[in-house]
Each structure stands twice: as structure tokens, then as C-alpha cells.
Amino acid sequence: MDQSTRLRTTIICALFVAMTAILAQIEIPLPLVPISGQTLAVGITATILGSRFGALAMIGYMAVGAAGVPVFAEAKSGLSVIIGPTGGYIIGFIFAALITGLILEKTSFTLTNAMLANTAGMVITLLFGVIQLKFAVDLSWAKALAAGAYPFIVVGLIKAFLASWIGITVRSRLEKARLLPRNAFKKAL
């Protein structure tokens, strides 16, 4: 990858880190785990950028937050968030973006495939979140699922649809404007 391509992809990933930080501040509070716009941002990121750069953007998001910049939900930051009850979701964002992007790269960037890919990403995020919630708060599996997964399934499916629709629409328009050449991120692999 040449210098200009590297700089361009770094800037693009940084923009998606910023978008995730902004959407993280939109939330509906619940007792243990709030519903936030973070997962919507993860889906949009993976749908537009694909697996590698979607995952890199989420690694960047986690690193910025761990370093102390208040980018997580409720303007929280620090390593304590990542190792705390909700940190599994943040770690899961990386794998959700990776798998969502991979599914789209292996199939095609269509709304139907994006919906399937983003639903898989939602399941991955919830899985990581529930596992960490269970151990961080010392809950039974039933209570961890009740607090960390079940309340988010319907909202997660809505966000998966929105991420798919927004992501495919924006990706298509960026390609038409030649701001995101077709398969640009696949070629950089």
C-alpha cells in the first residue's frame, strides 16, 4: 500500500471512529446495559468499509476510548470501561465489523446481504457482551442473557436494517462519486 493510500484509509477509518463516538452518545438508559447508537455505527462502518478497515476502525475506537477520550456511551472512557460490565460489547464491535464485512465481501454489497451480515454482527456483539457481563457482574447465564441480550434483540434487528440501508446507500453513492472506488478496500488487502 503506497503512502497516499495509507493516509487516505487512515483518515477514512478515523472518520468512522468519530461517527461511532458521536452515535455512542445517543442512548436509551436501561439498568445494566443502555441501548446506544454504537452498534448502528458498527454496522454502518462494516457495510461501507468492509472487514479489514471496518475492524481497524473499531480497534481505533476502542483504543481512543481506552486512552481516556470520552467516546464510549455516556461519554465514558478508560480501560475500566473495557474490562467492566459493558466492555464485552466494545470488544465485540471489532469482531462484528470483521464478520459483517467478510460476509459482504464473500457475497455482494446488496441490502439483503447487508441485512444478513449486520444481523450476524449483532449476534456477535451480544455474545461478547453477555459473556463479559456474566463474569464482570457475577451473574448466572440466564440473568446475563436477560440483562445483556434479550432486551436488545428487537432494537438490534431495527439497527441492523438501518445500518444495512444507510451503509449500502452511502457506499453506492461514494462509489458513484469516485470517493470510494469499487472494491477499494478489498484491493488494499
User: What does the pLDDT look like over 70-125, one tens digit per residue?
Assistant: 999 999 999 999 999 999 999 999 999 999 999 999 999 999 999 999 999 999 99
| pLDDT band at 183; cut points 50, 70, 90 | low
Identify the weakest region by mean pLDDT among 32-36, 61-65, 104-108, 179-183.
Answer: 179-183
pLDDT higher than 70, residue 142: yes
31 found inside a domain: no
Which are the contacts of 136, defined by CB distance < 8 A and separation ≥ 6?
A: 83, 84, 85, 87, 88
Is residue 162 included in any domain, yes or no? yes
Domain-embedded: residue 62: yes
Q: Which residues pair with 183 in a beta bridge?
A: none
Domain contains 77: yes
Here the CATH number for the domain that contains residue 17 is 1.10.1760.20
* Residue 41 falls inside a structural domain: yes
- Give the range of the structural domain holding residue 44, as residue numbers without chain letter: 3-25+36-182
